[in-house]
Every structure is written in C-alpha cells, then in structure tokens.
A and B are shown apart, each in its own frame.
Chain A
C-alpha cells in the first residue's frame, strides 16, 4: 500500500525530534554544561525513525552507546532524558546512568549500552521471552559495524537463528568503528552478508532514506511477528558529528569533503523536500513542527537544570537488584 500522508509526517516528526534533541545536547556538552561523553545520533535519524514507526506496546529495543536517537524514536520523554544527561534525580536512571545507560522500560527501550556489542545478547533474551510467552512482540536490536565484529553479536545471531526468534538486527553501518574506517577493521563491506552464516536473511538498505528503511523494517518486523524468525537489516548511514560530542577529540580520520558529501544526503532534508513536492508538508508546516519541538527541548532543559542532584545517601539505590 502507498504510504499515507500521516505516516510520512510521523516519520518526519520522529526524525526531527531526534535531530533537535541531539543538537541541543551537543551544544550543552560543548559548553561544558553536561558531564561525561555524549555519542550523538545526528545524520542517522532515518534508521531509528524508520524502524520505531513499526513498533508498539510490548515490543522492545536494545541500543548502543549512541542511544539517544533510539529512545527518542520510540517516544522517550525529553524531560527525563535531559535530566539524565545533566545527572539529576529526575532523570531516567535517577541521574546515575547518564547518556550511555539511558533507558525506559515502559517504552520497551531496554537501555543504551556502553559496551560495544552489549545489546545483541540482551535482545536475544527479550526475543526469547516474547516467543516463550507466545506474544506477537518483536525486539529491534540496534548495533554498529564495529559491534558486528564482537563475539557477542555472533553468539546472539546464532541463537536467534537457531530458535527463529522474533528479532530484527538493525546494523547502523556508519562506516566507522569509533575512529577506525570499516575497511581497517573488517574484511567485508556488507555486514548483511553475515546473516547467511546464521540461517536468516540479511538485506542492505539506504539508511539516509527514511522511506526505504520504513519499508524494509516493516517487512522484517512483519516476518518476525509471523514467527518466521530474525532478519539482519543493514542500513548504510553516516554520523555527521564526531564519534564523541560534536567537534570531537581532534582525531583526523575522515575528510571534510567526505562529511560534506554525506550531509548533502541529510535524511531530514531529503524527506522534507519530497514532502513539500507532494504537498504533504510545506515549508511553513515544517517550520511549525520544528518550533514545537524546539519549545519542548527548551522546556525540558529548563526542567532538567532546575532538578536536584541525587541525594548522596541514595548512592547505592537502584544499583543492585534486591
């Protein structure tokens, strides 16, 4: 069926929410107002949005160290997100987790993860639970090209294939494992090729094209819900900011020309241009969406900065299971 205007506007809004959240987080980080390292998702928004648009109540997501976008895409609350980044008690992890542990169990977002390749085993557990409990729920496991070299990914893929789990492995291949170009850390270019070794399909999709991701993710998720097992969806994408923060640590590993070339395929600009062409969202409409989200960001930052730090007496609370 052709995409509805409502679906297209929803994709646009999800992407723009990620972009504006991340841009503000980047500004605050560079200004020294947010402690710790932030790995920002700017440039990769089409992937999270295209996948999350198919997820609903009871579905799960496992994430990466670049995890804000995944939580925003499934409906994360800006107030709790910014509060967590600021280390405040009102944050998602009561201010003790920070960027790389941000999570919302109510939304099925099982957590960002500071360990490269930490997500896939958790996703297998969640997907196994879905299957065991005979729900129709699926788990979306986001990971990067670097994580696809980790044993944890291969073990998870093996089990997912063996048990035909309702799981989609979403590889955000942005061409770099941290600062290392893909051709210097693995012998293959298409990570989708690895799926065959575990007995399920792997496909490649343009990760800068929200509609292409939406279509492919929709088919993969429908397949999982039908009990036909996992899929590896490799999305070719790019991060516009550095590995850490916006300008990063001054490590030279990619050229300005390369970044510029990818920015010309900015997924939000591409979609906005097309929506305007089709008369679905004109310039004024897009500006109104942007302004509403910016207001949400401003309010959330103010809320976070006004929130208290965690009480030192609560240091060990929520750290260990009891």
Chain B
C-alpha cells in the first residue's frame, strides 16, 4: 500500500502584497500558480501518486490544475471551511495530517510555509516558491518536484531518503497561543500589522535567524552579508541600531537597504531569547503579532522543524534503484 496522498496547499494571496510597490517583487498571479500545479501533477502522476487532497476555495487553484489528471490522480477535497486568511493554510495542513498525507506541496513564500508548519509541525513539506521572500521554498522545476512527491506518496522512495529535517524557532507569546518561524523572527517598531510585510530597516530592533546566506532576500541575508557562517546546531541573534555597523541587505526583491547591526551572537538550539513589547513580532518576513508594552515573547531555536523533501535527493535515490527504467522488449537494456 502506498504511504498516502499528496496534500496541496496553494496560497492564493502569496506574491501579491505591498512588496510589489515598496520593492520590486514580481506578481505571482493565480494563473501562474495553476500552471505550476499542473506541472507538479504531471510529475506526481508519472511517479505513481494516486490521490491529491486539497483545500477547496474560490480561487480554484488545485481544482483547475487537476482538470485532466483524474484519473490517475483522485481529487480529495479537504473538509476545511475557506476563510480567506492564513488560517486556511494552517487548517489545510492539519487536515492533510489527518488524511495521512505522505507529502505536502506548498505554493507560497516563507510566510505560507510557516503557516503550514504551524498547522502540522514536522510535516513532510515540498515548498515551491510563488511568494516574495523565498528563503525556505525551493526554486525548482515543478515537474521534478511533483515526481519527487509522487515517489514518496507511492512508497517508491522512503521519506527518510528523500527529506532532511529543518530547524525551527518556537515562539511563545505571554498569554497567547504559541507560534513558530522557519527562517527568521524579528521584533519591529510599530503598532499594527497593517500591510504585513517588513521592508523599513529603521523599524528593526532585533532578530533571530536560522539562515545566514548572502544570496537570499530578507533577514537571512544579514548574517550572510556580514560574512557569518551559521554555527552548528544554533541560530544567530541580532540587535539592530547604533552603535555598530551598517550592512547593505536585500530586504525584499529589488530592495537593498542599510541595516544597522549593533551586535550578534550564536544562540544554541534549546536556548531561549527573550524580547519585550511594545512592538510587532514579524515571523518569516511578515508582521504577525503585536506585543503590548512589557509583554514578553520567548523564542527557542531547535532542530525539530518540518521534513523538507528535496527533489534532487528523492529523484537520485529513485534513479539509483532503476525506478525510471523500463526494458524495451526484445533488446537487453545494458550489460
């Protein structure tokens, strides 16, 4: 029996926020997302996937993309009411878990992946970038991504061989439900979530990041531009402001801005960082939660994040076992 269906979470709101104006981020239209999903389904069907569970919604991204793929792909709508908010991604991930999904493909950016991981901590995720800051999602051809997910869903490649465990930041806010971040958490000045994105460097007060890479956008680039390598089994904590140094960072696509770094230090997994309000807590590039004056938040990095399915890893594993080879009749394949 195959391990389970593939879950599909396609965020209709990704790639459409204010960063199209304040930066030079591209628009990711619904039609683009449907096209990505169609290529994904082609790969998944060819690799042996048989069922696709998805969140029905007015944008009909999965529904439209599935046209022509059933059979072999059986559409399984998830019993999740559509709200038009990030709650949809969170609820859909939880419903995928309940359906026993073997892999979940997520179309969006860092924020969408974060919401999915909040709904199903530790989920087997295959994130495809259709968002703005795409540090966590993979830049990969959806056909290959679909094939990788299909191999896992069909039981032809074990998840352990296809995926790696990612780190996560667990976020506890005093008196409120917990949250998490997959790339970075930041404390920014302000009173409102508003248009949600983080793009004004002067508002940054502190950050805790799980990546340090000069070739990405967002706060994960701060350490990268400072030439810092990620310490093993640890996150990096930054305090922003003067005195210190200004480092030029691509805070969003097409937006390079000076960020004043006062200090930084490694934070070993399991150790906590504490911030206090007032301010706004931004998670994976989006202003999410407001902190009242004096309200505490505690952030703990750890290795217990989602299982990231890497297409190259899954496909290479399958190729080594001859998974894609069918002998032609009457002729030997090879010596």
Residues of A at under 8 Å CB distance from B?
Answer: 1-3, 8, 182-183, 188-190, 192-193, 195-196, 201-205, 209, 211-212, 214-216, 219-220, 223, 231, 236, 274, 277-278
Contact = CB atoms under 8 A, between A and B. Distances in A.
A204 B195 CA distance: 10
Interface in B129-173: none
A281 to B, nearest CB: 12
B94 to A, nearest CB: 20
B22 interface: yes
B191 interface: yes
B22 A211 contact: no
B82 to A, nearest CB: 11
B194 A212 contact: yes
A219 B190 contact: no
29 contacts: A1-B200, A2-B191, A182-B58, A188-B31, A189-B12, A189-B30, A189-B58, A189-B59, A190-B12, A190-B16, A192-B16, A192-B27, A193-B31, A201-B20, A202-B20, A203-B18, A203-B27, A204-B13, A205-B18, A205-B195, A209-B194, A211-B194, A212-B193, A215-B195, A216-B18, A219-B18, A236-B84, A274-B191, A277-B292
Given A183-B58, A203-B27, A212-B196, 16 more contacts: A2-B190, A3-B191, A3-B192, A3-B194, A192-B27, A193-B27, A203-B17, A203-B18, A204-B13, A211-B194, A212-B193, A212-B195, A214-B194, A216-B195, A219-B21, A220-B21
A189 B60 CA distance: 9
A211 B192 contact: yes
B29 interface: yes
Contact of A215 (B18, B20, B189): B18
B180 to A, nearest CB: 23
Contacts of A188: 30-31
B194 A203 contact: no
A195 B195 CA distance: 19
Interface in B176-207: 189-196, 200, 202-203
Contact of B27 (A183, A202, A211): A202
B86 to A, nearest CB: 11
Interface residues of B, number: 28
A211 B22 CA distance: 16
A248 B187 CA distance: 47
A177 B195 CA distance: 26
Contacts of B30: 188-190, 193
A109 to B, nearest CB: 25
Contacts of A183: 58
Nearest to B29: A193
A204 B17 contact: yes
Contacts of B203: 2
A184 to B, nearest CB: 11
Contacts of B22: 219
B107 to A, nearest CB: 14
A99 B323 CA distance: 70
Contacts of A209: 193-194
| Residue of B12, B18, B58 ringed by the most chain A CB atoms within 10 A | B18
Given A212-B196, A236-B84, A2 B189 contact: yes
A216 B12 CA distance: 19
A212 B21 CA distance: 13
